[in-house]
Amino acid sequence: MTEFTFTVKDSSGIHARPAGLLVKEAGKYSSDIKILHNSKQADAKRIFSVMGLGVKCGDSIKLVINGEDENLAKKELMEFLSQNL
């Protein structure tokens, strides 16, 4: 299991478009990927779950990745989030 924290810089937070992109990116990996925000948890491969977190600009999220390709997923998701959120 690996994890990392990211602070959202997109002025709109994680709304429909970036949530869809994030879900598509997370779907590339066989690992289980969870997003934690405040007291909520979401499956990063399900758009309504991600949007239900209500993440706004300046909020920090934690991604917890567990599975065979967790290190690759962590590396590429960190890059993805930096470029898109």
What does the pLDDT look like over 3-26, one tens digit per residue?
999 999 998 899 999 999 999 999
How far is the C-alpha of 65 from the C-alpha of 30, rounded, in Å? 10
> What type of residue sits at position 79?
E
Active-site residues, by number, are 15
Burial class (CB in 10 A: 0-12, 13-18, 19+), 32: middle
Cα dihedral sign for 43, 47, 51, 55? positive
- Say what the pTM is: 0.93
Closest CA to 63 of 25, 26, 34, 27: 34
Q: Which domains does the chain have, with CATH numbers?
A: 2-84 (3.30.1340.10)
What pLDDT digit, counting tens, does each position of 42-80 carry?
999 999 999 999 999 999 999 999 999 999 999 999 999
N-term to C-term CA, the chain: 23
